[in-house]
Structure 1
Amino acid sequence: MSPEDDGLQTPDLTENIESPRSSPEAESKKRKRTEDAKPISKRAAKRKKSKATSDPLDEALDTEKGINHAIGHMDPQLLADHVAQRNRRNQKELSTVELEDLRIPANAIEDSTDWTQPRDLEKLPKFLEEYAQRSHKTKNIFLKSASKNKSSPHTLIVAGAGIRAANLTRAVRQFQTKDAKVEKLFAKHIKMEEAIESVKKSRINIGVGTPQRIIDLLNDGALKSGSLKRIVVDASYIDSKKRGILDMKETLVPLMNLLRREEFLERYASSENKLQLLFY
């Protein structure tokens, strides 16, 4: 017997049931899924990547004055970690063991966090005077004096570029006398042969230059490190692109090669013949 035969009506199961397509809520969810599935544009992806990889120290960069203020707040351990981090970033081809070999120990770095003045060109002479007196072995060594041996500076100031080194040279020219020369040790407008000749014939108190030129002069034998008392790295300075000597591979690699020379490493923590390593 059919339902019609017993007088009962079969209910219409589709009556009053809305199609999912007609539901505003369903349409909204569908649109959201479609938008989420859309590929991110190259520009948006670049912005997202840039935001994710931004350096936490960027807020300390004063582009108007050309100073990375963070350097001045780093104690020796923080500086050692900072340099190690820059090595990892700029020398990704090196293994963990090789990177560890590049590490400068914290006890090699002189603490200069108590220097509260700006680390600019104007204050550099006062900075040198202050920290030249920190070691009891250097109390009687005046910055205007030079070794009787030619080619033997007591201070090396290391910059990332020739133009910056030239500006640093002018900043410390006040320490030059007729018996003690502030020597230019950078390649800009100075050929290697000219540099060798000038260094060999001069009594030098302060040498200012770039890492690779200093290395080349040391390797040649023209520049001697026997009287060296301190190395000052021009670490706070940044250029118009917010880059300092520790931020670019082309300057960081030769700087590491210079600072980790065998004759320097054995003296950083020495109690008798200490070599000061300062980050200005």
Structure 2
Amino acid sequence: MSHSDSESDQAGVPLIEDFSGLDALAPKTSTHPSKRKRDDVDDDTQAPIESKRSKKKKKQTKKPRDVSDEALDIDNGVNHAIRHMDPSLLADHIAQRTKRFQPDLSLVEAEDIRIPERAITDTTSFPKDRKTDEFPAFLEAFAGEQRNSKRGKKGQPGGLANASKDPGSPHTLVVAGAGLRAADLTRALRKFQTKDSMVAKLFAKHIKLKEAVEMVKKTRMGIGVGTPQRIEDLLEDGCLKADRLERIVVDASHIDQKKRGILDMKETQVPLVKLLAREDLKEMYASGAKEGKGRIELLFF
């Protein structure tokens, strides 16, 4: 149990005072009835305290209303509801959580970081569950005609296993909720890695930002995998470039043992939305890209 869990549990335990010393104040002619009456008073005054604190604890751990336990597969770590969400539902799903995690945003601020429906690619046609081992097939299914038609030179693989000669310029960015999950996805995508096109893990607890910057500056990568904040930091530094980027894939279906995914936790959803709402990315999302500029597809796995 984590320290924060422990504090949360403590917050829900009522503080019960010992009123036994007050028995001496009761009239001696009717000890038992008075004691019973005092007990009744204590119970009545204590009940609202327990009820109030119990409600507070429940409020702290309450799940979003649109989360159904029936859709949560703990054994496989998958929220099956995501695969059935079209762009409109996904846009609303994200907006609801933004409102929940950032309730003080003004209407203008909320609109500025809202991910529009037109930016999201519809992936509901993918017939398989969103399990880790199906991720490569998912990428291939939505890589786009341009990427799938590319062929490698001199016997080298093309498609998703191809990379720009410019270091730090991936065609695909995968956004995961945690470092360990990023490592799992990196391993799952190794089939797309060659000596000239890395599947690069952009985040790990033992890799500091400075080290990651140096790694990105000298690495030819076709696919980069990282957490929202790390990818944001690398883009801000300039070592990670978006000019060759064709798609951003959010690992949205994966859930942990507490039934939480990247969209369900403030510490991951808020930086994710900040990343996706970057001006340099928003103006390149597929449906809104200007003529002559690169186009970025936004997919939710």
Would you say same fold, with TM above 0.5?
Answer: yes
Q: Classify 1:149/1:95 alpha carbon distance in 2 versus 1 (closer, same or farther; 3 Å).
A: same
- With the length of structure 2 as denominator, give the TM-score of the two structures: 0.75
Q: Classify 1:44/1:151 alpha carbon distance in 2 versus 1 (closer, same or farther; 3 Å).
A: closer
Q: Classify 1:201/1:97 alpha carbon distance in 2 versus 1 (closer, same or farther; 3 Å).
A: same
Higher mean alpha-carbon deviation, 61-70 vs 228-237, is at 61-70
Distance 2:108 2:299 in 1: 26
The equivalent of 1:263 in structure 2 is: 280
Distance 1:80 1:170 in 2: 29
- With the length of structure 1 as denominator, give the TM-score of the two structures: 0.80
Shift of 1:130: 0.6
Q: Classify 1:222/1:130 alpha carbon distance in 2 versus 1 (closer, same or farther; 3 Å).
A: same
The equivalent of 2:147 in structure 1 is: 138
Does 1:221 pair with 2:238? Answer: yes
Distance 1:105 1:93 in 2: 21
**Cα RMSD for the two superposed structures:** 2.2
Higher mean alpha-carbon deviation, 90-99 vs 258-267, is at 90-99
CA contact under 8 A between 2:169 and 2:240: conserved in structure 1?
A: yes
Q: Deviations over 1:176-201 (max 9, x none)?
A: 00111111111421112221111111
The amino acid of 1:55's aligned partner reads R
Distance 1:97 1:46 in 2: 31
Does 1:252 pair with 2:269? Answer: yes
Percent identity, aligned pairs only, is 57
Distance 2:179 2:111 in 1: 29
Q: Identify the match of residue 61 of structure 1 among 51, 55, 72.
A: 72
DSSP 3-state at the match of 1:94 = coil
The equivalent of 1:99 in structure 2 is: 110
Does 1:89 pair with 2:100? Answer: yes
Q: Classify 1:191/1:139 alpha carbon distance in 2 versus 1 (closer, same or farther; 3 Å).
A: same
5+ residue gaps in structure 1? 1-34
Task: Give the structure with the larger helix fraction.
Answer: 2
CA contact under 8 A between 1:154 and 1:227: conserved in structure 2?
A: yes
Shift of 1:44: 6.2
The equivalent of 1:193 in structure 2 is: 210
Distance 2:223 2:61 in 1: 42
CA contact under 8 A between 1:238 and 1:244: conserved in structure 2?
A: yes
Higher mean alpha-carbon deviation, 244-253 vs 269-278, is at 269-278
Q: Identify the match of residue 124 of structure 1 among 132, 135, 143.
A: 135
Q: Classify 1:53/1:162 alpha carbon distance in 2 versus 1 (closer, same or farther; 3 Å).
A: closer
Distance 1:146 1:94 in 2: 39
Q: What is the 5 A alignment of 1:234-245? A: 234-245=251-262
Distance 1:51 1:205 in 2: 40
DSSP 3-state at the match of 1:244 = coil
Distance 1:153 1:208 in 2: 10
Higher mean alpha-carbon deviation, 191-200 vs 149-158, is at 191-200
Does 1:275 pair with 2:286? Answer: no
Distance 1:52 1:257 in 2: 24
Q: Classify 1:259/1:53 alpha carbon distance in 2 versus 1 (closer, same or farther; 3 Å).
A: closer
Shift of 1:45: 4.3
Q: Classify 1:145/1:53 alpha carbon distance in 2 versus 1 (closer, same or farther; 3 Å).
A: closer
Larger Rg, first or second structure (1 or 2):
1
5+ residue gaps in structure 2? 1-43, 151-158
Q: Classify 1:227/1:50 alpha carbon distance in 2 versus 1 (closer, same or farther; 3 Å).
A: closer
Q: Classify 1:64/1:81 alpha carbon distance in 2 versus 1 (closer, same or farther; 3 Å).
A: same
Q: What is the 5 A alignment of 1:127-206? A: 127-133=138-144, 136-141=145-150, 142-206=159-223
Does 1:75 pair with 2:86? Answer: yes
